[in-house]
């Protein structure tokens, strides 16, 4: 059973995370994300992509049960897949919108922050980056995604505060482009507008905006992976 579903209509691809119950990101889902974003980037029939979640959330983040079961060698493979999946999302060259209608926590929040346009739904759900509260460090690709997407004050509050927030609180911080009862329609309208414009100018501008982050992601110091794995293996997964 695939965890990432793709529906292409009128040149726009809607990508839905669908892994009950909370779209937790296990290794299989991460690999599907890499494949999907790679294929859609190369497909000339696709002008843009919209990401959403099935059920009550976009994603509650990584599958911590799977993460806790991994020995050091398999953990390294998991991190390779994490880097590839989020790298493919963050480097996606075409217009990319995220429709957030429910919980987007940790990896789910980071996935939304890969987008060029974040449509937040008004409602009683939570968003945030609680990693540091439970002792999970940010892999470099995740750190750079958040830094690129968040204003400085929001970056500090989300990462170091490590708390969960309402959609209204996150929007007030400067995260998100709309806050409404219809985030999916907001995201679709953005894509329709962007996909109707010349694509070369969009790609050039997006690359200019993100190039420094991409370069930092591509050049980690050799000791970084070992330190990251040490920290992850020290976590007491509940």
Q: Where are the domains of the chain?
A: 4-182
Cα separation values, 112 from 44, 128, 227, 228, Å: 24, 11, 27, 23
Instruction: For residue range 97-146, list pLDDT tens digits in order.
Output: 999 999 999 999 999 999 999 999 999 999 999 999 989 999 999 999 99
Q: Tokens for 35, please give them.
A: 């494949």
Q: What is the pTM of this model?
A: 0.96
Q: What is the pLDDT of residues 162-205, one digit of tens each?
A: 999 999 999 999 999 999 999 999 999 999 999 999 999 999 99
Confirm or reject CATH 2.40.110.10 for domain 4-182, answering yes or no: no
Q: Is the peptide bond prior to 15 cis by the omega test (within 30 degrees of 0)?
A: no
């Amino acid at each position: 059973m695939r965890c990432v579903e793709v529906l292409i209509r009128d040149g726009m691809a809607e990508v839905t995370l669908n892994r009950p119950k909370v779209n937790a990101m296990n290794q299989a889902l991460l690999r599907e994300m890499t494949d999907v974003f790679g294929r859609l980037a190369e497909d000339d029939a696709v002008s843009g992509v919209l990401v959403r979640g099935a059920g009550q959330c976009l994603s509650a983040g990584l599958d911590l049960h799977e993460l806790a079961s991994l020995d050091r060698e398999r953990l390294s493979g998991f991190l390779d897949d994490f880097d590839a999946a989020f790298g493919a999302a963050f480097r996606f060259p075409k217009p990319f919108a995220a429709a957030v209608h429910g919980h987007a926590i940790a990896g789910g929040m980071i996935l939304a922050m890969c987008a060029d346009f974040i449509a937040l739904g008004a409602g009683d759900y939570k968003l945030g980056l609680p990693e540091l509260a439970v002792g999970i460090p940010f892999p470099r690709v995740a750190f750079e995604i958040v830094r690129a997407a968040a204003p400085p004050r929001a970056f500090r509050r989300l990462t170091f505060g490590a708390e969960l927030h309402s959609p209204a609180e996150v929007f007030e911080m400067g995260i998100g482009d709309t806050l409404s009862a219809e985030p999916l329609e907001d995201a679709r309208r953005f894509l329709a507008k962007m996909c109707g414009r010349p694509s070369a100018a969009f790609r050039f501008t997006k690359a200019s905006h993100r190039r420094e982050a991409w370069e930092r992601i591509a050049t980690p110091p050799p000791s970084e992976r070992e330190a990251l794995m040490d920290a992850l293996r020290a976590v007491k997964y509940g």
